[in-house]
Structure 1
C-alpha cells in the first residue's frame, strides 16, 4: 500500500492530519469564524439529501403564494447545466414525507389542509375568532348556500365572493351571531342578506294568520340613503324567492309606509329614528322578528341613535317561538336552526368599534364570531391619498377647477365639505366654472337627495358636493376622485369619505385640502397616509408641527399662550 493511500485511509477514518489544523489556544477569547474545508459535512451529502433539507426548511417556515416566492418549489425539476437535481427518488421521498407544494387555488376542496386555509386567509386579509369558525368560501359553487339562493346569485352576476362574504356567509349559515368589521365598499350587504334569506326560507310562509305579527328579519342602517340602497340590493335576492322587502325611513309620510305594510313584509329595512316612531304608533310590531342586522353600527351611534337602538332591540321577542323548547330547537335537515336557549340571530357590521358599539354587542349578541377584514378603521389600499395646503375658499375652488380641467379624473367625482352653506357655495363656484354639480346635505328633502344621487349615477351631474351624509354607505360606481374641500373633523370620517372611491378592487384617488386650522387631525392623517402602500406623505405635512404628535385644542391654546408670552 502506497503512502498516499495510507494518508487517505487515515484522513477517512482517523480525521484530518492534526499537524495541518490550526489548534486554538484555550485562553484565546477570540471567536474563529472560519473553518477547515474538510469540516464541512454538507459537501458529503447527496443532491437528493440536500433537496430534502431544503424542503424541510420550507415546511418549517411556510410558503405564501402572494409573497413573491417562486412557484417552482423544491420538488420541481431544477437543472444546472445538464444535471437534474430533482430526480424520481427525491420526488418519492418528498411525497412520502407528505409535502404538497401546490397553492390552494390548484387543489380541490377535499385536499385543503390547515396550512392551505391559513394561506387562503392571509391572501384575503381575513381574520376570525370566536371558536369553531368554519372555513371561508373559496367559491360560490363550493358553499352550502341553498340551491335556490345560488341560482339567484348567479342570475344577479356575482362572480367571486368578496373577503367579508367569504367568511361571514359560512358563519351566518350556522345561524350564529356575528360582529363584522370591514372597510366600506367591501360587499357587506350580500354578506348578511344571503344567510338571512337562508334562515327565513325555513320559517313558515306568510299567511293571513301571521303576517300581522311583523317581519321575520330586520335590517337597520344609519341614513335614508343607505337604507334604500340596502333595500334595492336585498330586493334583488329576495324577490325571486318570493319575499317582500319594505323600507321605513324618514322623509316620507308614516301613512305611506303604513300602506306599504298592509300585506306584511318578511324583511324590513329601516333607520332607527323612524322605526321607533312607527313602533310607538303601533303601525308595526316585531312579535316574530327572528333575524336582526345592524349595518354601520358606529355611524348610527355617532348620529345619536344609541337610545333608539336600545328601544328597538328591547322590543324584540325574548320568549321562544311556538314549537321550540329549551333543548334542541326546530331541527331542520339534521341541523339545529337556533342554538340552545336562543330566540334570534343578531348580526352587527361596523367599520370601527367605539365603546358604545362594544356595549351594544356585549348586551345583545351571544358569543358572537368576530370577523375582521384587513385592519379595522383603515383606509383601503386601492386609494392613493394626496394632501395639499390651500388657504381660503376662493383658492380652493380655483384649485378644484384646475384639477377638473386637467382631464386626469373622469366623472363621477365627489367633493366633501363640513357645512351645508359651504356645499351650496362650492357647487355654485363649480357651476360657474362650467361643471354640472349636484348637492347633497341634510337641508335637502328626501326627493332632492335621491335626485342628486341619481343625477350622479346617470351622468347628468359630473360632481356631487356633499356633507358627511354621503360619507357612509353611499355606493356610486366608478368614482375616480374624492376631494376633501375641508378636512373631516375625525380620521374615521376621513376614512369613510375616501372610501367612496377605489371600490370593488378598482383604483381611486383622494385629494385633501388642509389649512393650519386642521391641527387636531394632522397627526392621525399623516399616520393614515403612511400606512397606504400607494400613497406618500407630502413634505409639508410630514414637517408640520401639528403632525409630529397628537395635539388637542387645549394643547394648541396652551402653546399659543406660551408663544405670545
Structure 2
C-alpha cells in the first residue's frame, strides 16, 4: 500500500515525500487506518519495521484540527504523549516526529533523564502538542508543575515490554492516572506476554490487535553466522572477520557494563576506533558516542543491551555478538540493528563451550537448528592473543590442559617470584629457652642494672612516681 493512498494532509504528505517514503511497511499499512478511525491499538512488531510512522502520522493528522500559529503557550497544550523506555529511543522518536511536522504548526519536545531539567522546562513552558518522554523524567516535570496533562487525547506506550522489564510499571500507572479517561491509547510491544496483556486490559478500550511479526522472526535480509570461538580468541576472531569481510562499521554487543568498557579499551589499543555505550555513561557521553558513530568517526560501537532496542542508525553493515545474550529474545533485538529497510546485513555470534545452553535457547526461539562453524585465522593477521587478554576473573590454562611452565620459560633465568619461595629468616628470640617471669614486687631489670658500671640509666625525661599521703590518693 502506498502512502499516497492515505490522503494525508498536504503538510504531512509533503514531509513524507521528502523523507522518501513510498510504500508502507506491514505495521504501517495495518495500524495507520485503524488509528485514523480513533480506535485503540495493541500492536506487536519487530524493531525497525516503521512503528514510529505507524502511530505518529495518524495522530498528527487527527491533531491538525487544533493547529494554530499563536505564540501563546496556552494555545499549545500537550495533546499527544509518547512514552518510551530509553533515552536513545526517545531522542530518535522525537527527531522523527519533528520531521513529520516540519510543515505544520504543531510543536513537539522530548524530555528524558540524565540531563539538566532547565532546558527541558523552557521548552515545556513554550507549549507543545506532542511530548515524547521517558517515564521517570516526565514524573519529575509533573511534580515540578512544568507540564499539565489534562488535555491529552492520545497516549502511545512504545516498547511496553521493555518498560515493564526495566520496572517502569509503577511510573506508568502514576502517569496514566493524571490523564483524562477519554483518550486513544496505542500500545506497541515486541511480545504479547501475560504482563502486557494485563496492562492492555487495564488501560485499553476494545483495542484492535495487530501482529505483523513475532519476536522470533529475524529479518530475512540478515546473514547469520555462529562461530565456535573460545573466550581468549574472540578479539582475534573479531579482527579476522572485520578484515575478511571488509567491514567498516559494526555494533559489538556484550553482556556487562564492565566487559563493555574493557573490550572497548582493548580494541582501541589494538588500532580500531572504538567507543562504548552502556548504562553508566551520562547522557552527554551517550549522545557523543552515538554522534561519533553516525558521523563515521568511530568504527565500532561496543554496547550492552541497554542500546539493543531503539538504536535506529541506517546502513550498519554488521552486528557482532561478542557475548551471547542471556535472554534469547535479545538476540533478535540485537541483530535487528542491521539489515534494516530491506538492506543486507551480517550478524556474527562467537560461541564458547560454556555458551551451549544459550545457543539452545536461541534455537528454540528461532525454531531452527544452529550449525557452529569453525573459524580459520589468517596467518598474516597479528595474533591479538599475544597482546594480552581481557581479565574476566578466570585462570588461563595451556591448551593441553596443563598450567605448567614451558621449557623455554626455564631459559629466562630464575622467576621473578622465586624470592617468595625462600624460607624466612628465623628470629633467635623465639629459639631461647623458657624463662620464668619475675615476681610482681621485683625491681625492673634496668633498675637492677643501674648500679653496675657502664650500665644504662633511666632517662631524665622519665619522672618517677612520688609517694603521697593516703589522704590525697584517689579512691
Classify the TM-score, shorter chain: 0.7 to 0.9
SS at match of 2:110: strand
Distance 2:38 2:356 in 1: 46
Matched, 1:387 2:226: yes
Instruction: Please point out which of 176, 191, 197 is paired with 1:313.
Output: 176
Aligned CA distance change for structure 1 residues 217 and 384 (closer, same or farther; 3 Å): same
Instruction: Please point out which of 363, 370, 373 is paired with 1:537.
Output: 370
Superimposed CA distance per residue, residues 93-152 of structure 1 (whole angstroms, 9 cap, x where no aligned partner)? xxxxxxxxxxxxxxxxxxxxxxxxxxxxxxxxxxxxxxxxxxxxx212222423332222
SS at match of 1:261: helix
2:21 is matched with 158
Instruction: Please point out which of 188, 195, 200 is paired with 1:349.
Output: 188
Deviation at 1:377, TM superposition (A): 4.0
Deviation at 1:277, TM superposition (A): 1.7
Distance 1:172 1:358 in 2: 20
SS at match of 1:526: helix
Larger RCO (CA under 8 A, 6+ residues apart): 2
Distance 1:147 1:189 in 2: 19
2:321 is matched with 484
Trace 1:163-242 onto structure 2 (pairs within 5 A).
163-203=26-66, 205=68, 211=74, 214-242=77-105
Distance 1:475 1:209 in 2: 34
Trace 1:90-489 onto structure 2 (pairs within 5 A).
138-203=1-66, 205=68, 211=74, 214-318=77-181, 343-392=182-231, 394-406=232-244, 408-489=245-326
Contact 1:385 1:529 in 2 (8 A): no
Structure 1 unaligned spans of 5+? 1-137, 319-342, 542-565
Distance 1:164 1:206 in 2: 33
Question: How many residues are paired up?
Answer: 374
1:36 is matched with none
Superimposed CA distance per residue, residues 326-372 of structure 1 (whole angstroms, 9 cap, x where no aligned partner)? xxxxxxxxxxxxxxxxx211111111122222111111111111111
Deviation at 1:514, TM superposition (A): 2.2
Deviation at 1:209, TM superposition (A): 7.4
TM-score, normalised to structure 1, is: 0.63
Trace 1:55-66 onto structure 2 (pairs within 5 A).
none
1:43 is matched with none
Instruction: Please point out which of 340, 343, 351 is paired with 1:506.
Output: 343
Contact 1:456 1:462 in 2 (8 A): yes
Matched, 1:494 2:331: yes
Deviation at 1:374, TM superposition (A): 2.8
Aligned CA distance change for structure 1 residues 210 and 404 (closer, same or farther; 3 Å): closer
Distance 1:207 1:310 in 2: 33
Aligned CA distance change for structure 1 residues 169 and 403 (closer, same or farther; 3 Å): same
Deviation at 1:520, TM superposition (A): 4.2
Contact 1:382 1:507 in 2 (8 A): yes
Contact 2:227 2:372 in 1 (8 A): no
Distance 1:271 1:199 in 2: 24
Deviation at 1:414, TM superposition (A): 0.3
Larger Rg: 2
Deviation at 1:282, TM superposition (A): 1.8
Distance 1:245 1:487 in 2: 38
Aligned CA distance change for structure 1 residues 205 and 288 (closer, same or farther; 3 Å): farther
Distance 1:159 1:204 in 2: 26
Contact 1:482 1:500 in 2 (8 A): yes
SS at match of 2:297: coil
Distance 1:466 1:152 in 2: 33
Deviation at 1:239, TM superposition (A): 2.6
Contact 2:226 2:348 in 1 (8 A): yes
Deviation at 1:540, TM superposition (A): 7.5
Superimposed CA distance per residue, residues 168-226 of structure 1 (whole angstroms, 9 cap, x where no aligned partner)? 11111111111121111111111110011011112364857772884010011110000
SS at match of 2:201: helix
Distance 1:213 1:154 in 2: 27
Contact 1:415 1:484 in 2 (8 A): yes
Instruction: Please point out which of 501, 519, 527 is paired with 2:364.
Output: 527
Contact 2:318 2:345 in 1 (8 A): yes
